[in-house]
Each structure stands twice: as C-alpha cells, then as structure tokens.
Structure 1
Amino acid sequence: MSVVILYGTESGNAEIVADSVADVLTNYDPSIYDMSDYAVEDLDAADFYVIICSTYGDGELPTGAEPFAEELDEHKPDLNGLKFAVFGLGDSIYDETFNHGGEIMAKKLKDLGATQVGEHGRHDAASTVKPTTQAEEWAGALTAVIDSVSA
C-alpha cells in the first residue's frame, strides 16, 4: 500500500507539514501532491491518503484545495474502500471555524463513501507547538493505523 499525501494550502504551511509527514512515513513510499494538481479520477482505494489542509478566511478551504473540492462535488466519484486520515491547520482564535478546512475535506470524502481512520490531527497556530512537530508526532501514531488497514 502506497501513501499519497494531498495538501491544500494558502500560504505554504500545509506544504511544509506535508513534507514533514512524508519524512515520517518513508516506509510507505509516500508521494506528495498539491490538491490543485491532483485529479479526482486518480483517487485509488489501493492507496492510503493523508489529507493536510489549512483553513482560510472565514473557515473556508484554502485556494490550493478548492479545485480538488470542486471536482469532488462535480464528479461525485464512488470512494467506497478508500481510507484516509486528516491533519488540519487552523487558529483557535477563530473559535467557530477553527480547523474547518480539514473538516470540510473530511466530510466531502466521507460523503462519497471514503472512510476516515486514525485521529483527526488539528494544529493550533495560537499554540507554541510548531505545526511540523505536531504533524510528525501525529504521523508517527498514524503508522500503526496504516499497518492495520493494509493488513
């Protein structure tokens, strides 16, 4: 089982986090794609997906995630059998929309039949913890989840 990391970013933070997660998941030969460059038709249930998504504006998807989300809405692919995990980036100062970008992507995928596994990681920009540090710890715990779904 290969790991495909898809990131949606506005300012580049999600891309940096995606690289850090890939460094932890090297045993799974991860590939990394900007969501704006990844076609929905390329989603494959034989792979495991890691979604890394920031939140922008008033709890919206970042510009980098919008084309992928729109393509999901337009084509409505059957994603039964597809497994994914989510790590979101946000700022708790925006209480009602904190980490909403990751939640939006998770809902879109689940509504099409995909299964979210593992803990939904949520980084808080208001914390003193670097997003890469938290993401690396999250990815370390995710290895057991990936192993269990690929067995």
Structure 2
Amino acid sequence: MAAVILYGTETGTGELVADAIADVLAADHDPAIYDMAEYAAEDLNTDDFLVIVCSTYGEGELPSSALPFADELDEEKPDLAGLRFSVFGLGDTVYDDTFNRGGEIIADKLVARGAVEVGEHYRHDASSTEKPAKAAEEWAENLKAVIDAA
C-alpha cells in the first residue's frame, strides 16, 4: 500500500519530519510527500495510507501551510469513508491547553469526513530533548505494521 505524507508547517520542521518518515517507509510503501498547501482534498484516495505531519501555530491553530487543505475539507466535504490515516503532531508543552492542537484539528476534520485514524497519534514536544526527525523515524518504524494491516 502506498503512503501519502501531507505536512503542515510554519517553520519547516514539519517538512523535515515528513522526509524522515518517508525515508523509513520508502522500501515498502512508495511514499509521496506534499505540503498541505499544495494538495487538494479531492486527490485523497482510499487505496493509499495517509500520514499527516502537522505543527501547531500561535495559540493552538493550524500552521499557514495547512490552512488551504483544512478549508477545502470544510468547504468541499469529501466522502473519505475507507481512508485510513495516522498523525505525527508537533507542539510544545509550554502551551499547555493548546499543546499539539494542529495535528488534532486535522485529525478531527478527516474523521468528520469518514476517515479512520489508526496507529499511535504521536505528539512531539519541542520542550523535550528528543529531536523531531529522530522521533519520527522511530514512530514510522512502528507505523509500517499499521500500514500493512490497513
């Protein structure tokens, strides 16, 4: 099963994480990486496994590159029944109540359209010593089995 990796970022960390995930999935899942700003919701395909990488901006909002995709999900209301996805969120626990909200917002929008979230919804903490790309590699290793089961 092919993997489509969509990232939403403000500073570029989301893209680095998406690249790290793609490197792990490359051998078995032919990953394609896209900035959410350049991906149409109508292109989502239930034959693919969707990986969302999304940072959190401001006070728990989506980063600017995720907004066009999120708006399109709201406006077009595509039927995503049968689509399986997993989320790698980026945030900072300094922002207590809004920690990792970006990934949660996108996940909620996909679920509202009929998609099913599977596997671990990872929530990276920028205040930790763990590097996001390294955490993403470890998460993606576990994700391979989830994709195979989808």
TM-score range, shorter chain: over 0.9
Whole-angstrom distance in 1 between the partners of 2:92 and 2:68: 23
Structural RMSD (CA): 0.4
Corresponding residue for 1:9? 9
1:49 aligns with 2:86: no
Corresponding residue for 2:83? 82
SS of 2:80's partner is: coil
CA shift for structure 1 position 85 = 0.3
Whole-angstrom distance in 2 between the partners of 1:135 and 1:100: 18
SS of 2:88's partner is: strand
- TM-score computed with the length of structure 2 as normaliser: 0.99
1:109 aligns with 2:110: yes
How many pairs does the alignment contain? Answer: 149
SS of 1:61's partner is: coil
Corresponding residue for 1:68? 69
**1:115-150 alpha-carbon deviations (Å, 9 max, x no partner):** 00000011000000000011110000000100111x
SS of 1:50's partner is: strand
SS of 1:18's partner is: helix
Whole-angstrom distance in 1 between the partners of 2:119 and 2:94: 26
Moved over 4 A (4+): none
Whole-angstrom distance in 2 between the partners of 1:65 and 1:42: 15
Unmatched 5+ stretches in structure 2: none
Unmatched 5+ stretches in structure 1: none
CA shift for structure 1 position 108 = 0.2
Q: Which amino acid aligns with 2:126?
A: A
SS of 1:93's partner is: helix
Task: Calculate percent identity across the aligned residue pairs.
Answer: 66
Whole-angstrom distance in 1 between the partners of 2:138 and 2:112: 28
Corresponding residue for 1:135? 136
CA shift for structure 1 position 109 = 0.1
Whole-angstrom distance in 1 between the partners of 2:130 and 2:142: 17
Whole-angstrom distance in 1 between the partners of 2:85 and 2:20: 17
Q: Which amino acid aligns with 1:67?
A: P
**1:96-124 alpha-carbon deviations (Å, 9 max, x no partner):** 00000000000000000000000001100
CA shift for structure 1 position 82 = 0.3
Corresponding residue for 1:93? 94
SS of 2:74's partner is: helix
**1:67-97 alpha-carbon deviations (Å, 9 max, x no partner):** 0000000000000000000000000010100
